[in-house]
Every structure is written in structure tokens, then in C-alpha cells.
Amino acid sequence: MKPAAIVTGATGGIGRMIVGRLVRSGFPVIALGTKSAGLAALGEETGCRTLVLDITDASASQAVLAGLDVGVLIHGAGLLGPQVALYDTSDELASKLVSTNILGTVNVLRALVPPMLQRDRGTIVLLGSICATAPGTGPALYSATKAAMHSMAANLRYDLRGSRLRVGEILLGRVRTGIHEQLASGEDLYSGFECVMPEDVAETLLHMLETPPSVSLGTIEMMPTRQVVGGAHFSKG
């Protein structure tokens, strides 16, 4: 029997696709998010179990998640926000980004990793972004939060050395999910571009889960073939 999997950010474009794909592959799935109506619809559509939880609430996260018997964590919850420079980021936006993308990740890991470690089995996959390692590919503070997640994934692998727990991270390029509307840049970031699709992410994630237990796929950079990062900008003046 396959282990139970919990998917955070389950009502988003990628999350919904992951939940459906895992259910079809025989995983008992717990879909987690903050939008009760969206979760209810997802539950009816896929047959998954649903949980409404704000992961920025540390005590609630511990109370709700720590008792779950899950062998897989897919952490996709996160906030992008508008395309603004770091020095133009408002207090409210800064608080939301840090609370959700960094502290929310910490809260989820603190609740779910110790029971996995006690059972000495489990797979953890964090959905990150190329913004974590490539300056200029996303809003500054969002990129910083994804850099924090990238560091957490690497250090979590180190902390779990000697155990049978696997830690993976997918650094995503442009995925056609609609989340880029949060950028409010006025650009159409999908039309005419061959983006990665949510189902592509779900298939890659399933491959990570179904590799032999002795094999861990650590960091995967997943981007559209025509999307590249790199180079330098040099302005005159």
C-alpha cells in the first residue's frame, strides 16, 4: 500500500494537478489549503481528504498536522505578489511573503518531519523556483523567500543524513498556472510562450516518489525548453 501524501497549496493550479495525479496513482491524499470552497470541490472531484489550515499559524499547524500519519509531503503553498523592487515592498506585502513562504514552510516541516523521522521513512518535496538562484527572474523579496526555501531543502537533507527520509526540491521556471497574474505587470506572460504545464510538474513529482527508496532526486531544475537564465546587464553612466 502506498503511503499517505499531504499536498499544501492544493487548490492552486499545480497543487490541484498533483492531488489528482497522486490519487489516480493510488496514494491516499490529504489536500491542504486556506480556501474551503476550493478544497471541497477538489475533494468531490478526486476523492481526496481535505484540511483547511493557515500554515502561517504555528500553533494551529502543529495541532492539525503533527498527528497525521503521512509518508509524503509535497509543499507547494506560497505567495508570489506583485513585481516590485525590494525597496518599494510595502510592510503588508513583506509580512505576507515572509510569513507564508518562509515561516509557513518552517511550520509545516516542524509538524511533519519528526513523525516521519521517528518512523524512519518518508519523502519530502518542496516546490521552489529558479528565482532562488537567478537574480532578476522574480520580485526581489519573493526571490529571497525562495532562496530561503532552497537553503532549507539543502540543510534538511543534511540534518536527515543517516535516515531513510528523502528530501527533494523542484526549482520551477515559468509554469502556466495563473499565479503570474499576481505580478500585476501588465504583461501577458503565457501567450505565445511554451510554458511548463501543471501536469508536467505532477508527472515529474510522481517520478520522484516512485524511484526506489534507496534513490533520492535532490534538486531538479524544471523549465520550459526556450527559457534560460544567466548573463549580465551592464548599464552606461
Which residues are known catalytic residues?
142
> Whats the size of the chain, residue-wise?
237
Beta partners for residue 187, in sequence order: none
Q: Can you tell me the distance from the alpha carbon of 1 to that of 166, in angstroms, rounded to the nearest whole number?
A: 19
Q: Which residues pair with 221 in a beta bridge?
A: 171
Alpha-helical runs (H) found in the chain: 13-24, 36-46, 58-65, 91-97, 104-119, 140-159, 198-210
Cα–Cα distances in angstroms (integers) from residue 189 to residues 89, 169, 173, in the given order:
22, 24, 12
For residues 53 and 26, what is the distance between their CA atoms, to the nearest angstrom? 24
C-alpha cell at 94: 513583506
> What does each C-alpha distance from 104 to 28, 91, 96, 149 come to in angstroms?
23, 18, 10, 11
Q: In whole angstroms, give the CA distance from residue 173 to residue 223.
A: 4
On whether the CB atoms of residues 12 and 76 are closer than 8 A, the answer is: yes
* Dihedral pair phi/psi, residue 87, rounded to 5°: -75, -10
